Amino acid sequence: MGNFRNLVAIVTGGARGIGAATALKLAKGGAKVAIFDRNTETAEETLAKIKDAGSEGIALEVDVTNRQQIEKEMETVVDQWGKIDILVNNAGILKDSMIDNLSEEDWEQVIDVNLKGSFLCAQAAQKYMKKQNYGKIVMVSSQAAVGSLGRVNYSSAKAGVQGMTKALSMELGPFGINVNAVAPGFIDTDMSEVSRISAKMRGIDDFDEFKKSFIKNNPIQRVGRPEDVANVITFLASDEAEYVTGQVIYVSGRPVI
Ligand code: NDP
């Protein structure tokens, strides 16, 4: 599945977790992959795996809230590899808090990285994609878009990402660009460790019990793996999904309404 030979992909937040699994899967399909991350050192392991897979990868220091950095490093990618075919807007953060204690700063940071970052990267990438009349943009939303306790900021950002996906798909479809989103549920990454730390604040006293009960109540009977999400992202980034746009696919082992 997914022949990405001769294609160039950018994965934001690709140094770790879901982004790293996606970068590797794209590379295994033959894509050249640029990882845009705040910390390029953490991308080294993924870059080594990309090399082992016989493809090319680079890690570029980009904070997705910074328009200048995004534009500069997209130019670096185009200078090096000639084009941008695939953008995966994966970078995201959590700053959980119940509403009484949710600071304006934590509201802004979460909206900035998850929502504004997706907008800035999509805006910059689509300029290149339009010129070649080809592109795939995949956003990473979250099951939290339908509401998650202690996550007013994050739920708002991830619901916004879904709205952005649908609006952008209408604008960019005529230019050969598909825009879709995945919305993961509970996926085992460093971010789920952040959830562990913030669990008490969200009224969850015993995170391990919470995880056990989550597994028991999940139809697939396990938490998700980064590869579960990467599989769907790479499908949406492939030509096999050519007639799919403006869609949100939940990758959560359960139905989400
Ligand atoms: P991780 O925390 O494991 O990795 C996130 C990556 O994004 C890190 O490399 C991080 O860099 C990078 N990043 C954070 N902020 C920025 C920024 N401003 N600019 C560039 N890079 C940045 O997260 P996951 O892999 O778990 O999550 C990936 C995406 O999936 C996120 O959008 C998240 O919201 C979403 N998601 C995750 C779920 C889960 O259960 N794990 C569930 C639903 C959605 P650094 O090392 O500097 O922090």
179: domain CATH number is 3.40.50.720
Average pLDDT over residues 39-54: 96
Report the nearest-CA residue for atom 10 of ligand 1.
13
Contact in structure between 229 and 138 (CB atoms under 8 Å): no
Alpha helices in the chain (DSSP H): 17-28, 44-52, 67-81, 104-111, 117-132, 152-172, 190-199, 207-217, 226-236
Atom of ligand 1 nearest to the CA of 14: 9
* Ligand 1 centre distance from Cα of residue 78 (Å): 25
Residue in the block written with tokens 């396990």: 222
Least confident of 137-141, 145-149, 200-204: 200-204
In a domain, 198, yes or no: no
DSSP designation for 114:
I
Interface ipTM: 0.99
In a domain, 194, yes or no: no
Binding-site residues, ligand 1, Cβ < 6 A: 12-13, 15-19, 37-39, 42, 62-65, 90-93, 113, 117, 140, 142, 184, 186-187, 189-192
Measure Cα distances from 87 to 99, 115, 145, 257 in Å. Answer: 33, 15, 21, 27
* Ligand 1 centre distance from Cα of residue 15 (Å): 9
In a domain, 26, yes or no: yes
The amino acid present at 243, given as its one-letter code, is Y
Q: What is the DSSP string of 135-180?
A: EEEEEE--GGGG--TTBHHHHHHHHHHHHHHHHHHHHHGGGTEEEE
- Candidates 162, 191, 254: which one to mutate for ligand 1, based on the most atoms within 8 Å of Cβ? 191
What is the per-residue pLDDT across 68-78, written as a single tens digit (0 to 9) for each?
999 999 999 99
Q: Is 183 left (phi over 0), alpha (psi -120 to 50) or beta?
A: beta
Alpha-carbon distance of 195 to 191, in angstroms, equals 6
Atom of ligand 1 nearest to the CA of 18: 25
Number of domains, the chain: 1
How far is C-alpha 123 from the geometric centre of its chain's CA atoms?
A: 16
Residues across the chain: 257
Atom of ligand 1 nearest to the CA of 117: 18
Q: Give the pLDDT score at 257.
A: 84
In a domain, 195, yes or no: no
Q: Across-strand partners of 151?
A: 97
- Candidates 40, 90, 188, 249: which one to mutate for ligand 1, based on the most atoms within 8 Å of Cβ? 90
Average pLDDT over residues 238-242: 98
Other Cβ atoms less than 10 A from the Cβ of 104: the count is: 8
Residues tagged active-site: 154
Q: What domain range includes position 146?
A: 8-187+225-251
In a domain, 178, yes or no: yes
Alpha-carbon distance of 39 to 59, in angstroms, equals 9
What is the per-residue pLDDT across 74-128, written as a single tens digit (0 to 9) for each?
999 999 999 999 999 999 999 999 999 999 999 999 999 999 999 999 999 999 9
* Ligand 1 centre distance from Cα of residue 139 (Å): 12
Atom of ligand 1 nearest to the CA of 114: 32
Q: Give the pLDDT score at 199.
A: 81
* Ligand 1 centre distance from Cα of residue 52 (Å): 24
pLDDT category, 1, cuts 50, 70, 90?
very low
In a domain, 200, yes or no: no
* Ligand 1 centre distance from Cα of residue 187 (Å): 11
Other Cβ atoms less than 10 A from the Cβ of 217: the count is: 9
In a domain, 69, yes or no: yes
Report the nearest-CA residue for atom 7 of ligand 1.
13
Encoded tokens for 240: 């096999």
